[in-house]
Structure 1
Amino acid sequence: MFRHITTLSAFVAIAALGPPARAQERFPVEEATIAGVREALAAGRISCRDLVQTYLDRIAAYDQAGPRLAAIRAVNPQALRQAEAFDRDRGRLAAQPLACVPLVLKDNYDTAELPTTGGSASLAGAQPAKDAFAVAKLREAGAIVLAKANLQEFAQGGVSVSSLGGQVRNPYDLTRTPGGSSGGTGAAVAANLALAGTGTDTVNSIRSPASANNLVGLRPTQGLISLSGIMPVSKTQDAIGPIARTVSDAAALLQAMAGPDPDDPLTAAAAGRPPEDYAASLKPDALRGARLGVVRPLFGTKPEHAEVNRVMEQALDVLEKAGATLVPIEDPAFEANRLNAENDVQTYEFKALFNPYLATIPNAPHKDLAGIIASGQFHKAALETFLTGAEARQDGMAEPEYKARLARIAAFKAHVASVFEAERLDALVYPLQKRLVVPIGELNQADRSGIVAGLTGFPAIDVPAGFSAPSETAPLGVPIGLDLLGRPWSEGRLLGLAYAFEQATKLRRPPASAPPLGSSAR
C-alpha cells in the first residue's frame, strides 16, 4: 500500500472551506447533469456554494475514507469562495454555459491556484504561473475547479498509480484499477465526487478510464483543443478532452474547451473552422442510416476476452437495431499490439518536450528529467524503465528510427482514411479494452486499442456498453466501454452516434461503493 502524501492536507483544506451543507430538501448530486444543475440553480432549489460543499463532503467521505478511492490529489481551497461569488451574481447563469459546474482536472493540467505535479513526489508543490489554455476557457464558461485528480504518474501507463497519490481504486470493484492514465478523473466522476472532469490521451488515457468506470470519454481531433499548459508526453500523440457521465455533458465541456490558441501551432488547423454546435448533434435517431465499421482485429480471441466480447456483441445488436449498418473490417493493419510496438513515439519525444515544460514552472523542484531520475522520487516499478529510456536518448527526434516511425504513422493515417472512404463509414467500432481492467498490483493494462486514435489523431469517443457478470467484489460487474472512432473534425457526428446509443441502452449506473450521503446540497 502506498502512502498518500496529500491526505492530511486535503482534509485540512476541506475543513477550512466550511461546515457540511445543512440538511434540507435534498438535491441529488449523484448522477447530476449540467442541465439538471442549471435548472436547479435557476429555480433557486440549490445554491452554488452548497453544490460545491456537497461534492467536497463526498470527497471527504469516499476518497480518503470509506472505500478510499485515492482519486483526488488535492482539493481547491478557493472552490467555495468561487461558488459564493457565483451566488452573488446569478446573472452569470444566463451568460456562462458551465456556470457553477464543479470539475476535477487531471493533475497534469496547469492551474494557477493549485500545484501541478503529474502525480510525482519529485514535483510536489510545483506551482504554474497561470492556467492552461483549456482551463482558462473552462473558467470563462463558468466552471469551478473543484480539485486536481490523481493519475498514472506523468501520464505514463494504464493503471493510475503514482508516488504522490498512491493507487487509485476502481469504485465498481475496489480490487481493480480504474484504467489510466486519467484514472483519478474517471474514478472521481464515476463516484460522483465532481460533476465532470478532464483527462489527457496519448494512446488510451481518456477512453481507458471511461471504459473502466461506466463513463463517456472523448478524445478530440488533435488540434481541436490547445495543449498549452498541459504537461507533455508526445507532440505527435497527445490530446486532451472531457470525461463525463453523459454524452451531453461531454459535449458541453468540449464546446467550452475547443478553439484555436496562438501559443499552440497544432490548433491552427481549427482556426478557420466555424465553431460547431455540438449539442445540436445530440439526436436519439442519429444511428439511423449510419455505416459503422466493426474492426475485428481489435476484438480478443482468448478466454480472458470472453466477457468483453459478450458485452460488445450485445452492443453491436443495439447499434444495428437502432438503424446502423455494420460493416466488418478484417484489416490486419489495425492490430493494436503491432501498432504500439512499431509506431509509438513517446520515448523519442518525451525528454525534448518535458524539460522545456519544467522550465515554465517557477518553483519546479527539479529542472529536468535527469534531476527527477536522480532524485528517486517517483514510482520506480511503474516508471523507471520509461524514464531512463527517454533520458538515454540524446536527441530522440533526430534518430533514424524516430523518423521511420513518423513515416509509418503517416502511412497508417492515410490507410485509415482510405478505409473510411472505401467503405463510406461514419465511424469505426471496437472495444477500447479487450479484457477487463486488471487487479490492483499489476502495472500494465494489456490489450487496449486506443493506439488507432493516438497515431492518427482522429477523434474517438468511449461510451458505456455494459458490465461483466457480477461478482463478490463487483456487485454490478466491471464496466466495459465501446469506442467509436471518426474522421477528423467529425466530433459532432461522433457525439450524435454516441448519444443515440446511450439513449437506446441507458447503461450508466453509479457504483455501490459511493452511495448518497445523509447530508447534501439544498
Structure 2
Amino acid sequence: MTDERCENHNGKPFVLEEATVASVHEAMLDGRLTCRQLIEGCLARIEAYDKKGPELNAVILVNPHALEEADRLDERFQTDGLTGPLHGIPVLLKDNCETFDMPTTAGSLSLEGFETHKDAYITKKLREAGAVIIAKTNLHEFAVWGETISSILGQSYNPYDHTRTPGGSSGGTGAGLAANYGIVGIGTDTINSIRSPSSACSLVGIRPTIGLVSRDGIVPYSLTQDTAGPLARTVADAAAVLDVIAGSDPKDPVTEACLGKIPTSYLDYLDDEGLRGRRIGVLRSFFGPDDDLHREVNACMEKSLQIMRDAGAELVDISEKIDSGYLVKNVSVHIHDLKTHLGQYLEGFGDAAPIHSLADVLASGKYHPGLKSNLDEAMGYDVGTPAYNERLKKRAELQKQVLAIMDEYAIDAIVYPHQQQLVCKTGGSQQERNGVIGSVTGYPAVVVPAGFSTPSDDAPIGVPVGMEILGRPFAEPQLISIAYGFEQHSHLRRPPLSTPPLA
C-alpha cells in the first residue's frame, strides 16, 4: 500500500491517514484492506517521516516482526474473521512497557538492549485483542519529565511545529499518532505524561483511575501515581483501547479496586449528546492571566467552553483556588518514589539487567545530561520518611477537597486547560501544566483537542491546545460520554501539514 490506499473492484479507497479502529475493520470486512497492507502503510510513513522529512524522531524501534504478525492475522481472518476488538490495529507502545520480543529501554542508554523476555500486562492484553505492536516510541528518559528527550534517541519533535516539543513524557507516542504512524497508542502518566502529548499533538488521551489498569511490566517512576492509558485521534478509539487494557491483575494488587466498576464496554458511552444536561465545573484557578503568554490557550478554552454550552451543558465557575505548581512541588511524590520503585523493579531481574538501581544509572553515565539534576535529587529521597508521609497526608486532603468541590457544586466533571501556555520550545521545559491534580488524587482525566493557536511560519495551522476533563474515581464512562459529546460538536482535531499522505 505504497500510496497508502487499497481499492477493491468498487473503487472505494481505504485512506490510512486519520483512519480509526472502526474504519480499518470496515475496510477489512469489505475486502478492501488486509492487515499486511495496513502495517506496510504505517511502516512507510515511519520510514518517510521519522528520520527523514520532518524528522520527528518519535520511534526508538520498529517491530521487526510486524509484517509476520500481520500475515498471521490475515491467515486467521480468512477462517475466523476479526480475531478481537483490535484485530490488525497497529499500536505505538511507549518504550517503558515490556515486550517479550523487543528490548525495553525506558529511553535510557543504561538499559540499551535490555530484554525482559515477557510482555507487560497491557502489552499482553493488546496482543490478545489482535493488535500489532508496530513500534516502541521515545519518551522522556525514565518518564521523568515532559519534553521527550532521551539518551537512547534524543529529542522528539512536534509535527505541528518542529521548533517545539511534542509534550511528554509520552511524546513519541503523541507525535507518532498525530503523524499517523499507527492507529492508537499507549502512554504512561505519573504527573502529566499521557495528557501532555495529547494536548500538544491534537489527540485524545485518557489517564485512568489508579487501579483500573495494571502497571505490571512497566518500568516504574512512582507507583503511588503511575498509570498507563490510551492515546488516540478519536474518543471512540481511546475507549476501544481502554476496553482492552482495563481490568484486575493479581500482579498489581491496587487493581482489585476496579472489580465491579468496569462497564461491559466503554464504547457504550459514546453519546452524541453526552454534554446535554451535564453540569460541569470550570476551574478558573487553572487558567493563566490574560496576557501574551496565556492568551492563545485562553482563547481556545473560551471557544471550547462555549461549544459545551451550545451542546447543552451547564457550566459553573469554581471559586476555590487550587495551585497546580504548588501541587507539583509540595504534594506530588513522584521524585520521592523514583529511587525506591525503580530500584525494586531493576533488582527483580538480577544479573539479567545491566543496572540494578538509580545509583547504577548515575554511575554508568549512560543517561541524558539534562536528567542529572532530577536523578541527583531523587537520590536524596526515600519513601516512608516524615517529609514523604506529610505529602501523602496532603494527597489525601486534596482527594477529599476535589470530591467536596464536586459535591458542593453538584457537578459531573471539572474542566480546565491541560497547559496554561503553549507546549514549550525544544531546549526549554514545560511550564504551568495542570495534570497534577489528576495524578496526585489518582482520579481519572481525559484530554481532548480544544483548537489551535494563531498560525505562524513555524506552526502553519497553529500549535494544538488541549482541554482536560477530570472526574470522580472510576467515572471513566461519564468522562468518555462528555468527551465524545464535545468531540462530536467541535471536530477540532486536525492532522499536521508536515506529514501528508505519501504519493
Question: Structure 1 length normalisation: TM-score?
Answer: 0.93
Cα displacement string for residues 410-434 of structure 1 (whole angstroms, at most 9, x for unaligned residues)? 0110110111111111100000000
Secondary structure of 1:199 counterpart: strand
The CA distance in 2 between the partners of 1:211 and 1:274, in whole Å, is 26
Select which of 399, 402, 410 maps to 1:424. 410
| Structure 2 unmatched ranges of 5 or more | 8-12
The CA distance in 2 between the partners of 1:409 and 1:434, in whole Å, is 23
Amino acid at match of 2:67: L
The CA distance in 1 between the partners of 2:2 and 2:313, in whole Å, is 48
Contact in 1 for aligned 2:4/2:501 (Cα 8 Å):
no
Q: Residue in 2 aligned with 1:65?
A: 52
Contact in 1 for aligned 2:179/2:499 (Cα 8 Å):
yes
Q: Residue in 1 aligned with 2:10?
A: none
The CA distance in 2 between the partners of 1:236 and 1:426, in whole Å, is 25
Q: Provide the aligned C-alpha RMSD in A.
A: 1.4
Q: Residue in 1 aligned with 2:214?
A: 226
* Structure having greater relative contact order (Cα 8 Å, sep ≥ 6): 1
Q: Residue in 2 aligned with 1:160?
A: 148
- Counterpart check, 1:386 vs 2:365: no
Contact in 1 for aligned 2:2/2:44 (Cα 8 Å):
yes
Secondary structure of 2:393 counterpart: helix
The CA distance in 1 between the partners of 2:117 and 2:402, in whole Å, is 40
The CA distance in 1 between the partners of 2:336 and 2:171, in whole Å, is 25
Q: Residue in 1 aligned with 2:395?
A: 409
The CA distance in 1 between the partners of 2:21 and 2:80, in whole Å, is 15
- Counterpart check, 1:477 vs 2:477: no
- Counterpart check, 1:326 vs 2:315: yes
The CA distance in 2 between the partners of 1:467 and 1:64, in whole Å, is 26
- Counterpart check, 1:254 vs 2:239: no
- Counterpart check, 1:118 vs 2:118: no
Secondary structure of 2:467 counterpart: strand
- Counterpart check, 1:212 vs 2:200: yes
Cα gap change, 1:152/1:215 in structure 2, threshold over 3 Å: closer, same or farther? same
Amino acid at match of 2:51: Q
The CA distance in 2 between the partners of 1:463 and 1:486, in whole Å, is 14
The CA distance in 2 between the partners of 1:20 and 1:363, in whole Å, is 41
Q: Residue in 1 aligned with 2:297?
A: 308
Cα displacement string for residues 447-498 of structure 1 (whole angstroms, at most 9, x for unaligned residues)? 1000100011110000000000000011110000000001111101100100
Give the share of equivalent positions with the same residue, in percent: 48
Q: Residue in 2 aligned with 1:50?
A: 37
- Counterpart check, 1:468 vs 2:468: no
Amino acid at match of 1:441: G
Secondary structure of 1:251 counterpart: helix
Contact in 2 for aligned 1:38/1:93 (Cα 8 Å):
no
| Structure 1 unmatched ranges of 5 or more | 1-18
Q: Residue in 1 aligned with 2:22?
A: 35
Select which of 473, 483, 494 maps to 1:488. 473
Amino acid at match of 2:287: F
Q: CA shift at 1:22, angstroms?
A: 9.3
The CA distance in 1 between the partners of 2:23 and 2:4, in whole Å, is 21
Q: CA shift at 1:92, angstroms?
A: 4.8
Paired residues, what number? 495
Q: Residue in 2 aligned with 1:131?
A: 119
Worse-matched range after superposition: 270-279 or 141-150: 270-279
Q: CA shift at 1:303, angstroms?
A: 2.5
Select which of 166, 181, 190 maps to 2:178. 190
Secondary structure of 1:471 counterpart: coil
Worse-matched range after superposition: 343-352 or 431-440: 343-352
Q: CA shift at 1:141, angstroms?
A: 0.8
Amino acid at match of 1:375: S
Contact in 1 for aligned 2:87/2:131 (Cα 8 Å):
yes
Contact in 1 for aligned 2:192/2:436 (Cα 8 Å):
yes
The CA distance in 1 between the partners of 2:5 and 2:204, in whole Å, is 31
Secondary structure of 1:397 counterpart: coil
Cα gap change, 1:220/1:176 in structure 2, threshold over 3 Å: closer, same or farther? same
Contact in 2 for aligned 1:21/1:50 (Cα 8 Å):
no
The CA distance in 2 between the partners of 1:252 and 1:274, in whole Å, is 13
Q: Residue in 2 aligned with 1:16?
A: none
- Counterpart check, 1:374 vs 2:360: no
1:265-344 to 2 correspondences below 5 Å: 265-301=253-289, 302-332=291-321, 334-344=322-332
Amino acid at match of 1:287: L
Q: Residue in 2 aligned with 1:174?
A: 162
Contact in 1 for aligned 2:4/2:15 (Cα 8 Å):
no
Contact in 2 for aligned 1:107/1:150 (Cα 8 Å):
yes
Secondary structure of 2:359 counterpart: helix
Q: CA shift at 1:340, angstroms?
A: 1.1
Secondary structure of 1:56 counterpart: helix
- Counterpart check, 1:89 vs 2:58: no
Cα gap change, 1:201/1:93 in structure 2, threshold over 3 Å: closer, same or farther? farther
Contact in 1 for aligned 2:6/2:32 (Cα 8 Å):
no
